[in-house]
């Protein structure tokens, strides 16, 4: 019996294999559920990730805002377990999630960070060659950024109180230009010229830039490069617009004609006589006609250079002629205009113009000491007839204040050697350049009225030709 029971008991199928399989299935299902849950949690967590700004003002604001929003999302999910299946509730949840990645604080912070990154990139370029950049403008941007991270407004604390937090805005400062090249480019293209009569023979004139047009183009250049020009002008002690106008004007091509004293006709007559009298007679007549017999004459600079030669004695006199300053060696350009200072002594003076530095003029007593702006009012009264303060481009290519002086080269009008050199030169040289335009014709006689109007009176009836 016992044996039989044992055998029967042993014969019972307890379905252990099925149970094991079931257990395995359950474990797999559990792991699958855990995996899906983890995946779902990750998706949810990723959905709740938010971007933040790095700057110290916006970073804590954005993080606190995100914490508040995430707490709201958590409460919503707990209170609404059907949010996954309920379309309306899911839409509400999505709106809460959107606040993490789309809110005014976040947008302001990220935009400010991006602007500051661009500033840092530009600053690296500035460091390579600071002379080509407006370093003061970049320093100003740095100060604005400091204001932003402290107050949330780049314009400072007071602006933050009245305007609230505003994103940091950066605009790359304008790079320095080559001022002298800009002056040359504008000056060479300048076309609005006027004319004025000058001392000399009939039709003597020189061109000058229309001051109204010159001021317009100067203002245009100034408006485009205000910071740079303000700084340069301040260093030089002159008004910015005056600095620009002088710089442009120095590069404007100007025509100048000393006119005709009738020498052309008289020299033609001298040549006619020479055919009958020989070359000696012609030479004698030419020098006598052009130089000796004239209190005032205009001859080309090359003729005067031939007489005087290099290193000629050069003087600057006071208005009354009592003070004589030796300017020998100065780089002067002869005008071709000459006059007698003392007819009894037979001494004649060839006129020339030159520029000398301000400090040299002060040392010589031509300009008063103790001034900084250096205008014509600062020229010593006893020299203001022959000295004028102007802006001039120097050898360094920059525009500087300098003193333009009218100086003279004395020479013996009766020196036979001077006559020989002059006459030899006139055999191969023109007395003056041929007129290039109708306006410059030697037959033209110019009259200037009190209003500065220019008239051609050579035809008897005045004909308006321009403004002085």
Taking only the tens place, the pLDDT of each residue in 266-317 is 555 555 555 555 544 444 456 777 777 776 666 667 777 777 877 889 999 8
Q: What is the pLDDT of residues 210-252, one digit of tens each?
A: 999 999 999 999 998 888 899 888 888 889 999 999 999 989 9
pLDDT value for 266 = 54
What distance in Å separates the CA atoms of residue 37 and residue 39, rounded to the nearest whole number? Answer: 5
Measure Cα distances from 158 to 58, 142, 170, 288, 391 in Å: 19, 18, 20, 84, 44
Q: What is the pLDDT of residue 238?
A: 87
Lookup: tokens for 274: 């020479």
| pLDDT at residue 143 tops 90 | yes
pLDDT at 222: 92
Alpha helices (runs of H) in 288-443, residue ranges in sequence order: 301-308, 358-364, 416-426
Q: Can you tell me which residue has the tokens 């308006």?
A: 464
pLDDT tens digit sequence for 378-425 = 888 898 889 988 876 666 666 677 889 999 988 888 888 887 777 776
Specify whether the CB–CB gap between 446 and 379 falls below 8 A.
Answer: no
pLDDT digits (tens, 9 = 90+) for 60-113: 998 998 888 888 888 988 999 888 888 888 888 888 888 877 788 888 888 888
pLDDT of residue 242: 92
The pLDDT score that the predictor gives to residue 439 is 33
Name the β-bridge partners of 379: 367
Residue 412 phi/psi, 5-degree rounding, is -80, 110
Query: Has residue 43 got a pLDDT over 70?
Result: no
Residue 339 has pLDDT above 60, yes or no: yes
pLDDT for 438 equals 30
| 325 or 466, which is more confident | 325
Instruction: Give pLDDT, residue 380.
Output: 87
Residue-range domain boundaries for the chain: 12-44, 260-433
The per-residue pLDDT for 381 is 87
Mean pLDDT over each residue of the chain, to the nearest integer: 76
């Amino acid at each position: 019996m016992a044996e039989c029971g044992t055998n029967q008991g042993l014969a019972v199928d307890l379905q252990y294999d099925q149970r094991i399989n079931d257990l395995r299935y359950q474990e797999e299902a559990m792991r699958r559920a855990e995996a899906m849950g983890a995946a779902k949690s990750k998706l949810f967590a990723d959905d709740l990730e938010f971007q933040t700004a790095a700057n110290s003002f916006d970073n804590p604001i954005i993080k606190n805002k995100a914490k508040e929003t995430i707490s709201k999302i958590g409460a919503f999910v707990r209170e609404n377990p059907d949010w996954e299946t309920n379309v309306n509730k899911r839409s509400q949840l999505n709106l809460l999630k959107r606040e993490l990645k789309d809110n005014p604080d976040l947008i302001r912070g990220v935009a400010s960070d991006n602007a500051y990154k661009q500033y840092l990139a530009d600053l690296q370029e500035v460091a390579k060659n600071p002379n080509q950049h407006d370093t003061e403008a970049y320093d100003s941007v740095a100060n604005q950024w400091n204001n932003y991270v402290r107050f949330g407004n780049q314009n400072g604390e007071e602006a933050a109180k009245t305007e609230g937090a505003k994103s940091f805005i950066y605009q790359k400062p304008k790079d320095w230009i080559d001022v002298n090249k800009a002056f040359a480019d504008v000056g060479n293209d300048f076309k609005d010229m006027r004319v004025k009569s000058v001392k000399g023979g009939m039709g003597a004139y020189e061109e000058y830039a229309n001051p109204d047009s010159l001021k317009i183009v100067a203002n245009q250049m100034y408006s485009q490069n205000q910071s740079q020009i303000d700084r340069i002008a301040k260093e030089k002690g002159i008004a910015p617009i005056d600095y620009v106008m002088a710089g442009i004007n120095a590069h404007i091509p100007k025509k100048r004609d000393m006119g005709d004293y009738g020498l052309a006709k008289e020299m033609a007559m001298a040549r006619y006589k020479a055919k009958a009298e020989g070359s000696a007679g012609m030479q004698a007549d030419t020098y006598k006609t052009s130089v000796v017999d004239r209190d005032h004459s205009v001859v080309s600079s090359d003729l005067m250079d031939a007489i005087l030669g290099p290193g000629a004695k050069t003087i600057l006199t006071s208005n009354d002629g009592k003070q004589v300053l030796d300017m020998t060696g100065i780089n002067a350009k002869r005008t071709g205009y000459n006059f007698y200072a003392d007819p009894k002594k037979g001494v004649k003076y060839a006129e020339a113009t030159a520029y000398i530095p301000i400090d040299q003029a002060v040392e010589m007593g031509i300009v008063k000491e103790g001034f900084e702006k250096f205008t014509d009012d600062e020229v010593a009264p006893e020299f203001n007839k022959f000295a004028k303060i102007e802006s001039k481009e120097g050898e360094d290519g920059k525009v500087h204040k300098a003193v333009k002086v009218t100086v003279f080269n004395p020479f013996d009008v009766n020196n036979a050697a001077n006559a020989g050199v002059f006459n030899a030169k006139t055999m191969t040289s023109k007395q003056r350049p041929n007129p290039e335009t109708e306006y410059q014709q030697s037959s033209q006689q110019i009259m200037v009225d009190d209003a500065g109007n220019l008239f051609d009176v050579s035809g008897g009836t005045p004909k308006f030709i321009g403004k002085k």
